[in-house]
Amino acid sequence: MGYFVSKNNVKGTQKEGHISYPMLDANNGCKAGFCSGITFYTCTEYSPPGRHDDQEGFIVMEGKGWAKVDNEEFRLKPDVCFVAPAGITHSIKRDPDSEYVKVCWFHGAI
């Protein structure tokens, strides 16, 4: 695999309330656990929270909704970015009038 990848060439992983497409990882030359991908959140209630040993950043690409990082809740819309620090729970849900919230996510070692 090269230094690039298309979502069309990646198998999606369906979980409760969202489907994720892991895009870049060590197979593409990423180091120190860095990886990134695209996720479509389709649930109108918060998906089961994530919590990781590394930090995770998000960029909202399409749709509107809400995110909750630890106890802080905030609006999501295109061009909003946020981070979930290592060990902190985080979750996303879409607004009822949005088909989904599409985010680009990336994990980075700390």
Show me where the domains of the chain are located.
13-108
| Residue 9, number of CB atoms within 10 A of its CB | 10
Q: Which of 29-33, 77-81, 101-105 has the lowest mean pLDDT?
A: 29-33
pLDDT at 19: 97
Residue 1 has pLDDT above 80, yes or no: no
Window from 4-13, 60-69, 79-88 with minimum mean pLDDT? 4-13
Q: What is the average pLDDT across 59-77?
A: 98
Q: What is the pLDDT of residue 48?
A: 87
pLDDT of residue 2: 85
Q: CATH number for the 13-108 domain, one of 2.60.120.10, 1.20.810.10, 3.40.50.300, 1.10.10.2120? A: 2.60.120.10
pLDDT at 110: 76
The predicted model gives 6-28 an average pLDDT of 94
**Long-range contact set of residues 24-31: C-beta below 8 Å, sequence gap at least 24:** 27/1, 28/1, 28/2, 28/3, 28/4, 29/3
Mean pLDDT of the chain: 95
